[in-house]
Chain A
């Protein structure tokens, strides 16, 4: 059966704490920490972007899959921070891992669910028999305007998934997508920072689509929350995934392994895919895992996965997500963070 044959993560080592951001804006840090359930977030270095993180995550996925990159038939990066408006990210990734030239490549964008979109299409092509291996990556160096509530969470990270038919680590049992036109968050061309609809991003947006997709896929697969070992939801802040889990009948312990947001922030297209890499890191053969992404605009993609014996062979072949999150941390002051995030513009 088709499924994930390799997975990998990439998380920058820089962090900035909520207190450090709140200090600059005269905001009440405890209120933000309590309201968002976020303590700190990752920050990309000046030489890190969606492409470099995609390369690192994919190399980790390749280590676990142990395949020849030249056999990858499709490469899709989902992101809302592709370094170029015109010029693909995927070609750089394809070249960097040695997958060119016999490969189909495209860049995806759908707010925070572009990553699972790439995974969805890569998996679909493998299942259709059109390609041997497919690669789907979710990566972002997310933007949040200085002083906006988003600045406390907008983070950076990437997760990569290789799909194939043999040596499968996690079989894809079911897929499902739930989409409506719901404008809760957007960025127009030539705008540097996104805008959002405040509380409108909650009930009619995040919660409606995630519950819609989760109920849809569980119904299709004939599963109840109790049949599922672990569940990952998109993590724009700490509270939303815990609340949507409760609404759907999941216990906190089913959510926690993939709940990285309190130390990582919201990595947008990388958010739920990174929750899944962290969850696979601790999964046992036979575990059923549900992932439901969310992208503003709006839609959710769901996958039901069944972990195989192969997980025990590949788990340690590349860095685990919680290790990347917890080790070798470099805390930034706001000034350096502002420089790294290009919030300071030097004279020409």
Chain B
């Protein structure tokens, strides 16, 4: 297998992009990535997108986007693993380059979510849960994560305030990210008094509905060296699955797929959790960040809430988590999220993260998750 490098990243401001269509949002990000890499031709393209069919009534987007990017007849594939579709696209692009099938691969992620109303968006997102054993009984994602939160609070004494502190931290970081959808700061009191969504989760515990795209250019490290580009290597890609239905899991406070994906990634990169300098995790809800930190081995099981309270994961903390603002503040266009996480880590390792820069970061990790943890994808990045 060949070593793989990221040589280009591209992303525009995320938000409610009513004046732009899916293809427009995607091609903007893809062109920025091509420009950043200094290439204009690609050998293949992988796009992560969860549900363009339900959100904008368009399938077959791999060819559509290759066309609008001016890249036909390159092979192009659209991959889906719910909210981990972006992470899966990165993994598939990595395999494409590592295997020698392609040299220059564009990995993109996109979701256009605001062309439908709130009920339709909730329905589309709900398809990432088990239709027959979860959705038919009326539960939606805020409800599933609320169950996880309540259980975590009961079992480990995690407090309502600690959940709020995840949102406060991520909005603090997001306020330093000009591409974030909600770059405002907030405070614990504001989170605790925001609109109730699914007890104990309030609106400021939830990631938003977002339009956005993100793109990366991958190539073999040898080629990257010839192009004289700043090199960030992808030194591991780990993926794992779990039951889609939360009720089928042994422990609803433990995200086994993330644990398994991380275990594989750590082994592949020859790293341990304590070797990681900066982390982007899938904080679709505040409780998710706490559970994921535990499953990644960044903190002990049950200690996620306390770690946030103690500032361990703050920008200046021992292990900064979600320096981009996370899904919470940066936004969560589901198919694009996994790719954008990689962009933040690449920027950190290139020392291009501006006021969010983690000094001397050499090793970074991304964790992208589908549904309530039915799939997880972990990548490890290192400075070339």
Contacts and interface: CB of A to CB of B under 8 A. Distances in A.
Interface of A: 28, 31, 34-35, 197-200, 203-204
Given A203-B16, A204-B18, A204-B19, A35 B195 contact: yes
A329 B234 CA distance: 69
Nearest to B121: A198
B195 A199 contact: no
A28 B196 contact: yes
Interface residues of B, number: 8
B38 interface: no
A198 B118 contact: yes
B117 interface: yes
A197 B195 contact: no
A199 B114 contact: yes
B203 to A, nearest CB: 9
A198 B114 CA distance: 9
Given A199-B114, A203-B16, 15 more contacts: A28-B195, A28-B196, A31-B195, A31-B196, A34-B195, A35-B195, A197-B117, A198-B117, A198-B118, A199-B16, A200-B16, A200-B18, A200-B114, A204-B18, A204-B19
Nearest to B117: A198
A170 B117 CA distance: 43
Interface of B: 16, 18-19, 114, 117-118, 195-196
Contacts of A197: 117
A182 B198 CA distance: 33
10 contacts: A28-B195, A31-B195, A35-B195, A198-B117, A198-B118, A199-B16, A200-B16, A200-B18, A200-B114, A203-B16
Contacts of B195: 28, 31, 34-35
Contacts of A200: 16, 18, 114
Contacts, number: 17
Contacts of A199: 16, 114
Contacts of B19: 204
A35 B196 CA distance: 12
A200 B121 CA distance: 14
Nearest to B194: A31
A181 to B, nearest CB: 13
A122 B301 CA distance: 72
B49 to A, nearest CB: 22
A318 to B, nearest CB: 41
Contacts of A203: 16
Contacts of A31: 195-196
Nearest to B19: A204
A199 B196 CA distance: 18
B352 to A, nearest CB: 31
Output the residue of A31, A35, A204 with the most chain B CB within 10 A: A31
Among all A-B residue pairs, the 3 with the closest Cβ atoms: A31-B195, A198-B117, A28-B196
B238 to A, nearest CB: 37
Nearest to A35: B195
A244 B195 CA distance: 22
A28 B16 CA distance: 26
A204 B114 CA distance: 13
A204 B20 CA distance: 13
A28 B196 CA distance: 8
Contacts of A198: 117-118
A198 B122 CA distance: 13
Contacts of A204: 18-19
A203 B19 CA distance: 12
A265 B172 CA distance: 37
Nearest to B203: A31
Contacts of B117: 197-198
Contacts of B118: 198
Contacts of B18: 200, 204
